């Protein structure tokens, strides 16, 4: 079936006891067994839960793979993936990614003895070749990156990883499975912060891990069950409900984001606009090739540094000044002070995350209201 049909039906069938068309929220922590070890597929809700299972099946089907795990947050998903590795294992990660992911790697996972190297992933396999060691086990890729929207060649990197027997995990949060499906391009694992476009309404915090490999899934399930950072039945229901409108929302986000990008590009108080859908984006051609759309997030630099950035942000009326992204409402933020404050200053400077950088998650409100709001605040 096609994406929008899967989004509404995959993993879901009417409740056999009542005919309820919507998957119930199964709050039960445990499930009765008729004899020790004999049950209907559910024993204990950390291990598996029917509401979560429906959501995981739907998510996996949208990511074009067989196995999914719904987690308590994007960071919980990332931590669970990292738990599969051992002391001394080497991981190559991108130099630009969500500040909380970098903080997790540097301040927590490193303490467990994993070794990280950060590289510019836009350079692809050639760059990875320079950094591989006999201990390299994983490439951790975020594309497009948060907040600079750098785009890396997934297939090129996946082919290289396969030839080196290194796993590839892709954080697909910014595109959602509607606009990008890394497993089809050769990635082994996909991770999401479902708090963002998957959830889509800024009313849940969640994460997901997806794979098409039965062996990896077994290892992941062991970690998921052992660590226990799972999505609750209520959040699983929210995620399942949200997936039904993912395609509609992503199209609307993209349409508005492209329009706002073009408006900003033509404004005298703006220095630079970074959006994958603009021809000026350095990896626009690659974006067209490996993505099915350009998403709803853009970054730009306002002229005049921090003072002007601050007054612009304070003067907006429709856009909400808040962290996060992917909700139906437009959100705007200052990465240097907000989402990426934990990234060391020198690294921020090298990436271009400076005082004038502003990130927008363009919502699905009326484009006229959004444009007018940006215009009055910029002026
Ligand atoms: O917040 P959480 O659900 O734990 O997800 C972490 C995460 C992982 N990956 C990406 C690409 C992300 O953007 C995030 C969270 N990001 C924000 C909160 C933000 O405002 O950028």
Q: What is the DSSP string of 270-316?
A: EEEEE-TTSTTSTTHHHHHHH-SS--SEEEEEETTHHHHHHHHHHT-
Q: What is the pLDDT of residue 102?
A: 97
Give φ, ψ of 206 to 5 degrees: -160, 170
Q: How far is CA 191 from CA 20, 165, 263, 269, 285, in A?
A: 31, 20, 32, 37, 24
Q: What is the pLDDT of residue 97?
A: 96
Query: Do 95 and 120 meet the contact criterion of CB atoms below 8 Å apart?
Result: yes
Two structure tokens written together for 248: 């509609």
Q: What is the pLDDT of residue 187?
A: 99
Q: How far apart are CA 144 and CA 171, in angstroms?
A: 9
Probe residue for ligand 1, chosen from 97, 100, 140, 149 as the CB with the greatest number of ligand atoms within 8 Å: 100
Three-state DSSP at 139 gives strand
Pinpoint the alpha helices (H) of the chain. 3-9, 50-62, 74-82, 99-103, 125-131, 154-164, 176-179, 214-227, 233-243, 246-265, 284-290, 305-314, 345-351, 367-378
Residue nearest to atom 6 of ligand 1 (CA): 74
Q: How far apart are CA 231 and CA 54, in angstroms?
A: 12
Q: What is the pLDDT of residue 135?
A: 98
Probe residue for ligand 1, chosen from 70, 104, 144, 196 as the CB with the greatest number of ligand atoms within 8 Å: 196
Three-state DSSP at 362 gives coil
User: Which is nearest to 116 in space by CA: 94, 145, 144?
Assistant: 94
Catalytic residues: 46, 98, 171, 196
How far apart are the CA of 201 and the centre of ligand 1, in A?
Answer: 15
Q: What is the pLDDT of residue 93?
A: 98
Residue recorded with tokens 């199209």: 251
Two structure tokens written together for 287: 């974006």
User: Which is nearest to 141 in space by CA: 189, 71, 209?
Assistant: 189
How far apart are the CA of 376 and the centre of ligand 1, in A?
Answer: 29
Ligand 1: atom nearest CA of 361 is 20
How far apart are the CA of 338 and the centre of ligand 1, in A?
Answer: 12
**Pocket around ligand 1 at a 6 A CB cut-off:** 73-75, 98, 100-101, 142, 146, 171, 173, 193, 195, 205, 207, 323-325, 339
- The structural domains of the chain, ordered by start, are 3-243 (3.40.640.10), 247-378 (3.90.1150.10)
- Mean pLDDT of each 10-residue bin along the chain, 379 residues long: 98 94 97 97 98 98 98 98 98 97 98 98 98 98 98 98 98 98 98 98 98 98 98 98 98 98 98 98 98 98 96 98 98 97 94 97 98 98
Q: How far apart are CA 131 and CA 128, in angstroms?
A: 5
How far apart are the CA of 170 and the centre of ligand 1, in A?
Answer: 13
Residues 6+ apart with CB under 8 A from 35: none
How far apart are the CA of 14 and the centre of ligand 1, in A?
Answer: 33
Ligand 1: atom nearest CA of 75 is 4
Query: Do 182 and 190 meet the contact criterion of CB atoms below 8 Å apart?
Result: yes
Residue nearest to atom 20 of ligand 1 (CA): 324
Tens digits of per-residue pLDDT, 78-106? 999 999 999 999 999 999 999 999 999 99
Q: What is the pLDDT of residue 174?
A: 98
Query: Do 245 and 270 meet the contact criterion of CB atoms below 8 Å apart?
Result: no
Q: What is the pLDDT of residue 301?
A: 98
Q: What is the pLDDT of residue 75?
A: 98
Query: Do 298 and 257 meet the contact criterion of CB atoms below 8 Å apart?
Result: yes
């Amino acid at each position: 079936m096609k994406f929008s049909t899967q989004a509404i039906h995959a993993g879901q069938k009417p409740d056999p006891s009542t005919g309820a068309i919507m998957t119930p929220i199964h709050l039960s922590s445990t499930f009765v067994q008729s004899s020790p070890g004999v049950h209907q597929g559910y024993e204990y809700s950390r291990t598996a839960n029917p509401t979560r299972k429906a959501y995981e099946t739907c998510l996996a089907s949208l990511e074009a793979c067989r196995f999914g795990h719904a987690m308590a947050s994007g960071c919980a998903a990332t931590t669970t993936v990292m738990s599969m590795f051992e002391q001394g294992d080497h991981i190559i990660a991108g130099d630009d990614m969500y500040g909380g992911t970098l903080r997790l790697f540097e301040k927590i996972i490193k303490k467990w003895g994993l070794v990280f190297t950060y590289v510019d992933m836009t350079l692809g396999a050639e760059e990875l070749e320079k950094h591989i060691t006999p201990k390299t086990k994983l490439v951790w890729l975020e594309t497009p990156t948060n907040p600079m929207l750098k785009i890396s060649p997934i297939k090129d990197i996946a082919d290289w990883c396969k030839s080196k027997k290194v796993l590839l995990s892709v954080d697909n949060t910014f595109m959602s499975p509607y606009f990008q499906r890394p497993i089809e391009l050769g990635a082994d694992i996909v991770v999401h912060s479902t708090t963002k476009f998957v959830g889509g309404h800024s009313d849940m915090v969640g994460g997901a891990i997806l794979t098409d490999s039965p062996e990896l899934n077994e290892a992941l399930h062991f970690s998921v069950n052992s660590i226990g950072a799972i999505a609750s039945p209520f959040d699983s229901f929210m995620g399942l409900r949200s997936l039904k409108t993912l395609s509609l929302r992503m199209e609307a986000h993209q349409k508005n984001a492209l329009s706002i990008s073009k408006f900003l590009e033509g404004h005298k108080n703006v220095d630079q606009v970074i959006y994958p859908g603009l021809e000026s984006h350095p990896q626009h051609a690659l974006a067209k090739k490996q993505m099915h759309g350009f998403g709803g997030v853009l970054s730009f630099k306002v002229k005049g540094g921090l003072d002007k950035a601050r007054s612009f942000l304070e003067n907006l009326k429709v856009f909400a000044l808040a962290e996060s992204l992917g909700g139906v409402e437009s959100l705007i933020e200052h990465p240097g002070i907000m989402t990426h404050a934990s990234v060391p200053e020198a690294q921020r400077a090298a990436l271009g995350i400076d005082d004038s950088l502003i990130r927008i998650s363009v919502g699905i409100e009326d484009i006229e209201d959004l444009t007018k709001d940006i215009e009055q605040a910029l002026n």
